[in-house]
Structure 1
């Protein structure tokens, strides 16, 4: 699988990976991240998962999750539906 880059305590995921997963262009990915339409969270593993991180990206009603190791190698990925939170922002 593809590798992401380590950036201090976090990671940098190539925009092309997100674009392909969400059916966007790389430019759309960057704009969606700037506007907050595409969000991310990085969670460090503990216990038996120490040395692994879970990177989750949400866009509208879909999510993409990568599990990566310390070097940024993608160990697994999954896509799944999530609740669209954009209506929550309008309240």
Structure 2
């Protein structure tokens, strides 16, 4: 499988990409996602960003953000600490 593919209009990201980004064995990724310990968000680019998509993954206070094109090619990648939300939620 490619590292990021598109199936039925949805992006599928390989655990071999996600695991190392969070310092995890890729084999643990599916279970952590099922448990809700790795979560994700998908955003579609508009205007100047049309044709791109931002895939954000969250785990243990860290974020992996991937900007990809419609074929799933990574255009940008960033990893950073997740800012704490006001009131301590997050």
TM (norm. structure 1) is: 0.86
In the alignment, which residue of structure 2 is the partner of 1:32?
Answer: 32
Residue in structure 2 matched with residue 73 of structure 1 by the alignment: 73
- The superposition leaves residues 47-66 of structure 1 with CA deviations (integer Å, 9 ceiling, x where unpaired) of 11110000000001100000
TM-score, normalising length: structure 2? 0.86
The match for 2:16 is 16
Unaligned runs of 5+ in 2: none
Can you list the C-alpha shifts for 1:10-65, whole angstroms capped at 9, x where unaligned?
Answer: 20011011111001111211111010000001100011111000000000110000
Structure 1 stretches of at least 4 aligned residues deviating more than 6 Å after TM superposition: none
Between 1 and 2, higher relative CO (CA 8 Å, sep ≥ 6) is seen in 1
**Root mean square deviation, CA, Å:** 1.9
